[in-house]
Amino acid sequence: MAIEKITDFEKCCGCGVCAALCPKQCITMEPGAEGFLYPHVGADCIECGLCQKNCPVNKDVDDAESYPRRVFACRNLDRDVLFQSSSGGFFFEIAREVIACGGVVFGVVFDAGNRVVHAKAETLEALRAMMGSKYVQSDKRGVWPEVKAALQTGRKVLFSGTPCEIGALRAFLRKDYDNLLCTDFICMGTPSPAVFARHLHDLEQRFGAPAASISFRNKKYGAYTHSLSITFANGKSYFRPQYAEPYVKSFHSRIYLRPSCHHCSYKQAFRLSDITMADFWGLTSTDIPLTMAGGVSMVIVHSAKGMKYFDKVKGRFTCYETDMATARRVQPMLTASCAPSPVREAFFRDFRERPDAPFSGLIGRYEPIPLRDRLRARLKTLTGLRRLVQGLKRRFPALRHM
Ligand SMILES: Cc1cc2nc3c(=O)[nH]c(=O)nc-3n(C[C@H](O)[C@H](O)[C@H](O)COP(=O)(O)OP(=O)(O)OC[C@H]3O[C@@H](n4cnc5c(N)ncnc54)[C@H](O)[C@@H]3O)c2cc1C
């Protein structure tokens, strides 16, 4: 049986609920040509149809107004938490609250091999690994039965993921649990794990050691923006802001998002989560008296359960209430899917046909980084400035005495 018997290839979000529910365990999740996971149905299939019936993307998501949604702008009062988080540090506080009650948190981490995976945290130390956005689609193999097992113990469970991952969890569980809290975020889309793996491999070769820590939202250099920052096992480090970082720049140009992200049925104000988080882009166009410095979370509460948790943690933030009209205006990604880049197909053709080509060379044909931006990025860090001066002196011997 081909994937089309479960759902359309273009619609499949790679959640793996079909594989987790298959009574014959004959569905496996395998990387496709672009590096995203897709179901492969084995010969033992008895055509029971359970996979198709419970596939989350086959279900309609209603844009129903069930609970009077409330929208907030929040900035964490704890500077350390704020600087380790992508936006205003909302996720950590809600997750900390669940752990403090003896609960379990499921979220996304880099595993020991730097693959992006959904994992479980029962301690604050494990929770810290979940902080920060990883702009790569997570591997969820094995997570759904683990969430269910945790729920069945009666402990509080927080599951955090993309909107389609919340849809997947609900489809897998097939019933509501009082002890389950779900958070999602406003999601542009998830990039290919294979593309990130190739870029990381190139950087590890260049710096001569495996990556020891990776961050896409390093706030150390002042600007509150996207970037890629890696510390390698030999102590060397790499930092580039979005405009000069080939992977991050082309992520924002939507060159290698999962096909289903371009027509996502979960991109609506109605959510299957209790709380939606986001960056409060467009904050300066509102009357909220906060600046974006350090990061501000947009928090949309969708349920009474979400409001109960919000009330428990709100004292840990500078917090202002706003409304859905503002959220919709400043965050078009709340309700709309983005179109794929016009170079998407050409890029993936190159990516497949030239498996040994370095990522930055491949992507440079489609998303070049102007010299001006490379220089700007170097000037951003003192190390960069020092290397630039050294480079100029090597190139222009007359400068060596300066
Ligand atoms: C792929 C992706 C696309 C996004 N697109 C947008 C966008 O278009 N607009 C916008 O405003 N915000 C977007 N975000 C959300 C934003 O970057 C922040 O994650 C969010 O605002 C929460 O920030 P925080 O400061 O509260 O906590 P943080 O500590 O930064 O939040 C981390 C949370 O994100 C989860 N997470 C991290 N990586 C992934 C992943 N790959 N898949 C699923 N969950 C993950 C962690 O499990 C944790 O729960 C995106 C995030 C991701 C991962």
C-alpha separations of 65 from 58, 186, 270, 273 in Å: 21, 18, 7, 14
Domain identity same for 147 and 74: yes
What is the predicted pLDDT for the residue at 386? 62
Domain-embedded: residue 361: yes
For residue 108, is it within any domain?
A: yes
User: Is 65 within the bounds of a domain?
Assistant: no
217 in a domain, yes or no?
yes
- Whether the CB-CB separation of 124 and 101 falls below 8 Å is answered with no
- 206 belongs to a structural domain: yes
**Together in a domain, 184 and 206:** no
In terms of DSSP H, where are the helices of 34-162?
A: 50-54, 79-84, 90-100, 124-128, 143-152
- The beta strands (E) that lie in 111-265 are given as 116-121, 157-160, 180-185, 211-215, 227-232, 237-241
Q: Report pLDDT for 157.
A: 98
If you average pLDDT over every residue of the chain, what do you get? 93
53 near 7, Cβ under 8 Å?
A: no
User: Nearest Cα to 332, choosing from 382, 284, 402, 269?
Assistant: 269
Stretch 356-363: mean pLDDT: 94
| Domain end marker among 291, 316, 334 | 334
| 64 found inside a domain | no
Supply the angle between the helices 143-152 and 163-173 in degrees, to the nearest 10: 60
Distance linking the first and last C-alpha atoms of the chain:
71
Report the CATH number that the domain containing residue 9 is assigned in CATH.
Answer: 3.30.70
Rounded Cα–Cα distance for residues 75 and 88 (Å)? 5
Both 207 and 228 in a single domain?
yes
Cβ–Cβ < 8 Å for 74, 90: yes
How confident is the model at residue 31, as a pLDDT?
97
Whole-number pLDDT of residue 384 = 61
Probe target for ligand 1 pocket from 185, 252, 273, 292, with the most ligand atoms within 8 Å of CB: 185
Shared domain for 151 and 77, answered yes or no, is yes
184 shares its domain with 49:
no
pLDDT at 222: 63
Residue 251 to residue 316: CA distance in whole angstroms: 32
Same domain, 146 and 33: no
Query: Would the pLDDT of 95 be above 80?
Result: yes
pLDDT on residue 224:
67
Give the DSSP H/E element, type plus range, for residue 104. Answer: strand 104-110
Q: What is the reported pLDDT for 318?
A: 97
Q: Of 303, 334, 365, which residue constitutes the final position of a domain? A: 334
Helices (H), 29-123: 50-54, 79-84, 90-100
What number does the ligand 1 atom closest to the CA of 89 have?
25
CA 94 to chain centroid, in Å, comes to: 18
Q: Are 245 and 228 within 8 A, CB to CB?
A: yes
Gap between the Cα atoms of 173 and 148, Å rounded: 7
Q: Which two tokens stand for residue 146?
A: 């683990």
Q: Which has the closest alpha carbon to 316: 118, 92, 116?
A: 92
Quick one: 15 and 75 in the same domain? no
Check whether residue 240 and residue 359 sit in a common domain.
yes
Distance 345 CA to ligand 1 centre (A): 26
Asked if residue 63 belongs to a domain, the reply is no
The Å distance, Cα 161 to ligand 1 centre, comes to: 8
The larger pLDDT score, comparing residue 293 to residue 66, is at 293
At 49-89, the pLDDT tens digits run: 999 999 999 887 766 666 889 999 999 999 999 999 999 99
In a mutational test of the pocket of ligand 1, which residue from 15, 36, 79, 86 has the highest number of ligand atoms less than 8 Å from its CB? Answer: 86
Atom in ligand 1 nearest the alpha carbon of residue 160: 49
Shared-domain flag, residues 181 and 274? yes
Report how far apart, in Å, the C-alpha atoms of 261 and of each of 31, 190, 327 are.
17, 7, 21
* Confidence band of 376 (pLDDT split at 50, 70, 90): confident
| Sequence-ordered list of residues with C-beta below 8 angstroms from that of 336, at least 6 positions apart, any chain | 267
Give pLDDT tens digits for 278-290. Answer: 999 999 999 999 9
Model confidence at 268, in pLDDT bands (50, 70, 90)?
confident
Pocket test for ligand 1, best of 37, 133, 250 (most atoms within 8 A of CB): 133
Say if residue 177 is in the same domain as residue 75. Answer: yes
Write the CATH number for 320. Answer: 3.40.640
The whole-angstrom separation of Cα 230 and Cα 279 is 22
| Structure confidence at residue 396 (pLDDT) | 79
Share of residues in the chain with pLDDT > 90 (%): 85
Q: How far apart are the CA of 132 and the centre of ligand 1, in A?
A: 7
pLDDT-based confidence at residue 302 (cuts at 50, 70, 90):
very high
- Give the model's pLDDT for residue 377: 86
Nearest atom in ligand 1 to the alpha carbon of residue 95 is 49
Residue that finishes a domain, picked among 308, 334, 360: 334
Report residue 78 as tokens.
């704890």
Tens-place pLDDT, residues 128-164: 999 999 999 999 999 999 999 999 999 999 999 999 9
Residue 94 confidence (pLDDT) = 98
85 Cα to the center of ligand 1, angstroms:
9
How many domains does the chain divide into? 3
pTM for the full predicted model: 0.93
Any residues with Cβ below 6 Å from ligand 1, and which? Answer: 85-92, 107-108, 116, 130-136, 138, 160-162, 185-188, 190, 277-279, 297, 333
Residue 379 belongs to a domain: yes
Task: Determine the structural domain holding residue 163 and report its residue range.
Answer: 70-191+257-334
Verify that 282 and 161 share a domain, yes or no.
yes
Q: Which residue has the higher pLDDT, 276 or 59?
A: 276
Residues 222 and 238 in one domain: yes
* Segment 207-244, tens digit of pLDDT: 999 999 999 999 877 656 899 999 999 999 999 999 99
